[in-house]
């Protein structure tokens, strides 16, 4: 695409230079000045500490054809012979440029955005499974970006605008009809999903997390609520009826544009009753706006039942037959690192479960869901990440000590914080009479829990789930809770 044509499609660009480069072909978009080369358009993104647009001279020097930067960045250095366009709102401009360059892929796809503190990954995976035999899907989330014939490990829950539009474009080329996206509060706050119109917006829940970024729960909620604004949501909201913040979202949308869901409340549009629980899952009656059916699900816990209902609502809206949905729900294979059982043999005497639970609410849900299936002691191994919301640490310590029989507090991803400080924050929430151990070395903590567990006990290893690394200082080292659990199980007599 010629530079002139590309820039003309973005109304927020305020100053269009007169320059021969306007007739040059643009072959790529870059937000890193060092990565620029011939044919690239450099987009200067605002940052928390510095405006990336200030690096435009380096981008041009590296070979970029032109640059689009903020008005503020344009005043820091004189622009002489370079081709530099300016805009006031670079967040919107970057999304508009990327969408135009990649030929508006979100308009070709049916977009499904899932937001909430917990449950985003499980819900998107269930939707993907329900659509598998009917529509070609792309999945973009915490674990990976994938579609038929392609899979790549994700670096962010929701990619930045330029990367997001590129991935959506590749999905369109691969023949995808539906894009399932986990949409984080950071992404919404930072405008990464601008220029995406969502046919469905799913809200799972809102509980304490990310308050290092959002400062308070109301600000956190307002970021999530953006997905249900007219800027993003064009179709229907699928919203958790049992969540107080969900009720606020429901009240803000026309009734015909909402399907609410609840594990047990008949006031919701999708709900269940006649439930029976077992170690192999849950069964009961599924009620939907399009009919009722008996159903079963292999996922345990009411929170997973809620995820199933959200996914069912999405599949129904997208035209999948209810009987087909119910049949698929019964065979869902699960999600890596979410209530994932680790086994080395069919005769092992203890259970070991790895889960991503890293918030107070998700840890509580995990422990309550696992309790009915553990005949002996429930042993919880968990920690909290460094450089993140400190206020949730004592809350999680108290929850673990209240619900588990034994607690081992260990490191998660300490990052640049002192691990001992993080451990002390967690322990501060645990009453002094509770049986706890503090073992900073996560490998040793997992090994000790499994080594000393008695027949019938269950070891729940929480916090990292699917992650195969630990971040210590600024270094990312290989570490997988499942591998550690497997090795410890194999070493038991």
Reported as a pLDDT band with limits 50, 70 and 90, residue 210 is: low
CATH of the domain at 291: 3.40.1190.10
Tokens encoding 481: 């809770």
d(Cα 85, Cα 156) in Å, to the nearest integer? 29
Any domain includes 408 = yes
- 247 and 382 belong to one structural domain: no
Give a yes or no: residue 392 inside a domain: yes
- Picking from 52, 68, 101, the residue at the C-terminal end of a domain is 101
Banded model confidence at residue 70, pLDDT cuts 50, 70, 90:
very high
The answer to whether residues 82 and 57 belong to one domain is yes
So what's the pLDDT on residue 173? 97
Last residue of a domain, one of 297, 329, 361: 329
Instruction: For 121-181, give the secondary structure using H, E and C.
Output: HHHHHHHHHHHCCCCCEEEECCCEEEECCEEEECCCCCCCHHHHHHHHHHHHHCCCCEEEE
Phi and psi angles of residue 380, each rounded to the nearest 5 degrees, phi first: -110, 125
Tokens 């508009």 sit at which residue?
96
Q: What kind and span of H or E run contains 15?
A: strand 13-15
Asked whether the predicted pLDDT for residue 23 surpasses 80, the reply is yes
My answer on whether 136 and 273 are in the same domain is yes
Whether residue 244 lies inside any domain: the answer is: yes
Is the same domain home to 44 and 67?
yes
Asked which of 287, 309, 329 is the last residue of a domain, the reply is 329
Residues 13 and 83 in one domain: yes
Residue 143 sits in the same domain as residue 256? yes
Residue 179 φ then ψ, to 5°:
-115, 120
Residue 311 within any structural domain of the chain: yes
Range of the domain at 240: 105-329
The single residue listed with the structure tokens 């590749």 is: 170
CATH at 73: 3.40.1390.10
pLDDT of residue 33: 95
Domain of residue 441, CATH code: 3.90.190.20
Q: What is the rounded average pLDDT of the residues 259-264?
A: 95
Pair 133, 187 in one domain: yes
Domain annotation covers residue 419: yes
Task: Look up residue 8 and give its two tokens.
Answer: 């003309």
Query: Do the domain assignments include residue 272?
Result: yes
Determine contact, residues 364/388, Cβ cutoff 8 Å: no
pTM value?
0.87
pLDDT in tens, 446-479: 999 999 999 999 999 999 999 999 999 999 999 9
Q: Is 335 a domain residue?
A: no
Q: Based on the domain organization, do 413 and 482 belong to the same domain?
A: yes
User: Do residues 206 and 346 share a domain?
Assistant: no
Question: How far is CA 458 from each of CA 6, 29, 78, 298, 454, rounded to the nearest angstrom?
Answer: 58, 50, 66, 19, 9
**Same structural domain, 80 and 122:** no
Helices 120-131/302-317 angle, 10° precision = 40
Whether residue 285 is found in the same domain as residue 140: yes
Give the tens place of pLDDT for each residue, 271-321. Answer: 999 999 877 789 999 999 999 999 999 998 888 999 999 999 999 999 999
264 and 170 in one domain? Answer: yes
For residue 32, tell me if it sits in a domain: yes
Task: Specify the number of domains making up the chain.
Answer: 3
51 secondary structure, DSSP code: B
């Amino acid at each position: 695409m010629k530079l002139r044509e590309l820039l003309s499609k973005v109304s927020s660009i305020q100053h269009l230079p007169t320059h021969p480069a306007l007739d040059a072909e643009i072959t790529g978009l870059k937000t890193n000045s060092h990565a620029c080369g011939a044919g690239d358009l450099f987009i200067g993104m605002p940052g928390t500490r510095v405006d990336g647009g200030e690096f435009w001279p380096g981008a041009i020097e590296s070979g970029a054809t032109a640059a689009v930067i903020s008005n503020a960045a344009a005043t820091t250095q004189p622009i002489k012979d370079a081709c530099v366009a300016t805009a006031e709102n670079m967040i919107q401009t970057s999304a508009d440029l990327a969408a135009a360059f990649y030929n508006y892929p979100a308009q070709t796809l049916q977009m499904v955005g899932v937001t909430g503190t917990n449950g985003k990954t499980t819900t998107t995976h269930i939707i993907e499974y329900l659509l598998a035999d009917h529509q070609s899907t792309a999945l973009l989330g915490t674990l990976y970006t994938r579609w038929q014939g392609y899979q790549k490990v994700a670096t962010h829950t929701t990619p930045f605008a330029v990367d997001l539009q590129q991935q959506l474009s590749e999905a369109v080329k691969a023949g995808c009809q539906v894009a399932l996206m986990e949409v984080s509060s950071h992404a919404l706050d930072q405008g990464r999903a601008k220029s995406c119109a969502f046919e469905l917006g799913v809200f799972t829940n809102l509980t304490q997390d990310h308050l290092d970024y959002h400062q308070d729960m109301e600000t956190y909620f307002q970021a999530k609520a953006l997905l249900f604004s007219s800027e993003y949501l064009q179709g229907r909201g699928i919203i958790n009826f049992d969540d107080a913040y969900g009720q606020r979202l429901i009240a803000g949308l026309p009734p015909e544009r909402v399907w609410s869901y609840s594990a047990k409340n008949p006031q919701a549009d999708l709900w269940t009753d006649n439930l029976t629980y077992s170690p192999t899952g849950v069964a009961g009656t599924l009620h939907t706006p399009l009919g009722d059916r008996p159903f079963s699900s292999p996922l345990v816990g009411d929170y997973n039942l809620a995820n199933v209902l959200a996914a069912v609502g999405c599949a129904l809206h997208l035209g999948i037959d209810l009987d087909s949905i119910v049949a698929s729900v019964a065979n869902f294979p699960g999600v890596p690192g979410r209530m994932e059982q680790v086994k080395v043999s069919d005769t092992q005497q203890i259970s070991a479960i790895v889960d991503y639970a890293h918030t107070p609410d998700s840890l509580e849900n995990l422990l309550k869901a696992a309790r009915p299936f553990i005949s002996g002691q429930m042993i919880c191994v968990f920690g909290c990440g460094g450089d993140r919301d400190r206020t949730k640490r004592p809350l999680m310590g108290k929850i673990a000590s209240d619900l588990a029989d034994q607690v081992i507090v260990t490191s998660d991803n300490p990052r640049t914080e002192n691990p001992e400080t993080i451990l002390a924050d967690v322990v501060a929430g645990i009453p002094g009479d509770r049986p706890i151990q503090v073992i900073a070395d996560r490998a040793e903590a997992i090994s000790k829990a499994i080594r000393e567990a008695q027949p019938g006990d269950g070891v729940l290893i929480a916090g990292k789930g699917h992650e195969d690394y630990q971040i210590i200082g600024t270094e990312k080292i290989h570490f997988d809770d499942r591998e550690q659990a497997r090795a410890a199980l194999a070493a038991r007599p």
